[in-house]
Structure 1
């Protein structure tokens, strides 16, 4: 078992190396654990958000504070690492990804959590990998084949099963928001896939979080929708959302992917909706109907089919995951760490 010494070393390596430097392929179990921690953090976002709502906070206010706190942590990390800063069109793209893409995606997803069960919202959000494939085919980056057609059919069937037993009155808007979040996130990944290969992933996360925070703050103030928590514990839950469902999961995901590769890390990330389903069932007593449980399983099967050729969720994103290749990782079974498309996932997966 790995152990930390007094000098700040982990199995002979500086602890900072675990998160900020490429790691040896032999540390597979540690990499898998980091990816599981990431999935658990993203999966718990539904509970943190619902508790914040119960404390009286509005969706956009909560997200503004969440992204602002996460941005501060990422900028502290960037100040220590001192990576090259993007300029021109690349910088504008990063800002747009945060101010428009991720601000909208997070608003849709967390807005759905205020209207429907977290388990249903999380499973509907996980339709984004097939949507990425559809976009790639529409743009001519991929071609339709039997495997992709099967995955898309499974995805549609899964959504129909999830919604087949009906939703409670007034919840249709929440379902629409969850599906809108999936579509927005698919577009976000498609755009982020075009960012330069040499961008520092932590810097991208800092820019995305900052841009999202500024965008949401301006919208809240201009529309008069700024609604801070009425109870003090609302700030605590928002802080937990920022740290343990944003900053820590992204750091763990990036570190874990450098060890086990993008494909394995993506499969491990399927634990995200499972964590959401389990945590909301434990805390709020939410339960999926048998047909909804089956529908959620079919949705995840669609994602597994799309990842069957070691590309997640499609060859269009295989190139994204293989950006920023690290020369120190020479084992043919270990993939380089992910692209800005993945790094900008400030709360993605489950919001």
Structure 2
């Protein structure tokens, strides 16, 4: 295939991955109607996702040289950072703030990617980037203030904001760290192995923190949400995103992630009844515009 065709495919894959990832926040909110902790829900998610990742890992490892120790350690570290730590922080944050705010806070990861790219790959941060950062955070401030006004009585709101921002930072580290190793191992092999490493971390955390909570004694609806989270919000988008990174790079994949907040905003309105205010729309537009401008000419 030509380079142009590969790029177009990469754009489509990254966009589909962003939209599917955006369903996670709504599903988590719906699942939290039941007495679930973030650790328990994350474990249910991985319970359904892990067998598929194991299957793909076995297929991807066929007739391929064994991993070096350095690659194995990198895969484990990135899996724990990008899918265990980032997901746990995000789930915990979602239990405290609205879906709309969570997705917009999480979308700050492209800006963090740019900063980390500058540090890791010596890419200078341009003047236009600094201006775009300012626009983005003005927009984010509008949404934060608007959401805080609507959730004045909510406990743990500030902690939720911090947890989701930390999740965004963890995911940015994963994107930057995964770019070179994906080129060596292939997207499917890397993603499946990283997710299996994350699954180990999730189950260990669950076993230590929820000794009296049984994953085998839950209502059918809880398993339905766990299945949807595992397959449609985890397995499919993780492979789509990795394939996008392999074709168009981490920075371009991050830009296309703008589809995520928009999809979440609409789904939260349709499925959760979360109101869309004028201030929220203005803030969202500023955030998306700022991130787009900051990342308009990234290097791979």
TM range (shorter): 0.7 to 0.9
Change (3 A) 1:244 1:128: same
Provide the rounded CA distance (Å) in 2 between the counterparts of 1:236 and 1:23. Answer: 41
Match of 1:321 in 2: none
One of 70, 83, 87 as aligned partner of 2:49:
70
Q: Deviations over 1:16-63 (max 9, x none)?
A: xxxxxx688569887665444323211111122122222333211221
Provide the rounded CA distance (Å) in 1 between the counterparts of 2:271 and 2:173. Answer: 32
Change (3 A) 1:220 1:209: same
Match of 2:20 in 1: 41
Change (3 A) 1:152 1:33: closer
Provide the rounded CA distance (Å) in 2 between the counterparts of 1:250 and 1:176. Answer: 24
- The TM-score normalised by the length of structure 1 is 0.73
Provide the rounded CA distance (Å) in 2 between the counterparts of 1:230 and 1:276. Answer: 27
Structure 2 residues not aligned, in runs of 5+: none
Q: Deviations over 1:89-131 (max 9, x none)?
A: 2111110112244311111112121111111100011111112
Match of 1:343 in 2: none
5 Å matches for 1:1-351? 34-81=13-60, 82=62, 83-138=64-119, 141-165=122-146, 167=148, 168=151, 169=153, 170=155, 171-193=157-179, 195=181, 197-224=183-210, 227=213, 228=215, 230-254=218-242, 261-262=248-249, 266-309=254-297, 311=298, 315=299, 318=300
- For the aligned residue pairs, the C-alpha RMSD in angstroms reads 2.9
**1:166 deviation in Å?**
5.0
- The TM-score normalised by the length of structure 2 is 0.84
**1:218 deviation in Å?**
1.2
Change (3 A) 1:138 1:211: same
**Alignment: residue pair count:** 290
Provide the rounded CA distance (Å) in 2 between the counterparts of 1:300 and 1:239. Answer: 30
Q: Deviations over 1:294-316 (max 9, x none)?
A: 2222111122112311x2xxx3x
